[in-house]
Structure 1
Amino acid sequence: MKIPLDYVCVRSGLFCDRCQSLLDEGKVNDFDVEVIKMLLDLEESQFKELKDSAYDKAIKLNHLVILLVNSGPSMNQQKWIKVAKVLQDKLKVKVRVLEKTNSIKNSAMQLLSPARVLGVNTVWLPDGSVQYVIRVSRSERRMLPAEAGILESALSKIHSTAVRIRVE
């Protein structure tokens, strides 16, 4: 698996100057290191297909962990679900794996699944900023994987912009 840190640094827990600077700048945090170590163990033992995939970031919110990855050609959604289940058992929190994308709609569809996204509206605020509103059907509200507020903050962190979820 392609990772932002050196393999030796992650395995040993002692970081070289480059890896330490990534930690100091906040591009990688201690939780990322923990998750990367678990993913490398899984790659060696159960999931050889992880070799061509790339790790981007892990976001932890309450009882939900979101992994942002770039899948390799041999990884599909079913294999990522199996990886997420193994990580759930180890971390004792719910894990969702998202394919890294610049599209808010694609990220929302992956994160909110099995609930369907009706659409994404762009709201231009008077101060010149942009807010995205993700619309979800009222009948599918119970199918959301977590509370709407947690999902909103997750999408906001992923895309570095304000995101709201509206149930209609």
Structure 2
Amino acid sequence: MKIPLDYLCVKSGLLCNRCQSLVDSGQVDPSEIDIMRILLELEETQFKELKDATYYKAIKVDNLLILLVSGGPSMTIQKWIKVAKALQDKLGMKVRIIEKTSNIKNSAIQLLSPARVLGVNTVWLPDGSVQYVIRISKAEKKLLPADAPDLETALSKIHDTRVKIRVE
């Protein structure tokens, strides 16, 4: 698996100057090192397909961990679900793995599943910024993997823009 830090640094826990500067600058959170270590262990033991995958970021919101990745040609959705389950068992928290994409609707569909996304509205605010409103039905609110405000925070961090979830 391709990761932002050096393999040796992640496995040993001792960071070289380059890796330490990435952690100090905030590009890599210190808690992500353990996640990367577990992913590398899973690649060696259970999931050889992770060799072609790329890890980008982990976002922790309440008791939900969201991993941004891109898979190789051999990685299917079912395999990502198995990797998420293995991570869930090792970390003791809910894990959701989503493919990195610039499309907010695709990210929302992956993150909010099994709740269905009715649509995504773009709201242009008076200050010139953009806010996205993701609409889901009231009947499917209970299917969300976490609280709506937590999911809004996660999607906002993923896309670096304001995101709201509206239940209608």
With normalisation by structure 1, the TM-score equals: 0.98
What's the counterpart of residue 18 of structure 1? 18
1:94-151 deviation line (CA, Å, top 9, x unaligned): 0000000000000000000011101100001111111100000111111111110110
What's the counterpart of residue 43 of structure 1? 43
What's the counterpart of residue 119 of structure 1? 119
Letter in 2 for 1:37: R
What's the counterpart of residue 135 of structure 2? 135
What's the counterpart of residue 76 of structure 1? 76
RMSD: 0.6
Unaligned runs of 5+ in 2: none
What's the counterpart of residue 98 of structure 1? 98
CA distance in 2, matches of 1:63, 1:38: 18
Is the deviation greater in 15-24 or in 62-71?
Answer: 15-24
- State the shift of 1:62 in Å: 0.8
- State the shift of 1:31 in Å: 1.2
CA distance in 2, matches of 1:15, 1:22: 10
CA distance in 2, matches of 1:6, 1:17: 11
- State the shift of 1:6 in Å: 0.6
CA distance in 1, matches of 2:8, 2:89: 25
What's the counterpart of residue 52 of structure 1? 52
Structure 1 consecutive aligned stretches of length 4 or more whose deviation exceeds 2 Å: none
- State the shift of 1:2 in Å: 0.5
CA distance in 1, matches of 2:20, 2:139: 48
- State the shift of 1:152 in Å: 0.4
How many residues align structurally?
A: 168
What's the counterpart of residue 85 of structure 1? 85
Percentage identity across paired residues of the two chains: 70
What's the counterpart of residue 144 of structure 1? 144
What's the counterpart of residue 108 of structure 1? 108
CA distance in 1, matches of 2:106, 2:50: 22
Unaligned runs of 5+ in 1: none
1:63-116 deviation line (CA, Å, top 9, x unaligned): 000000010111110001001011111111100000000000000000000111
SS of residue in 2 equivalent to 1:4: coil
Letter in 1 for 2:18: R
What's the counterpart of residue 157 of structure 2? 157
CA distance in 1, matches of 2:31, 2:17: 19
CA distance in 1, matches of 2:6, 2:111: 29
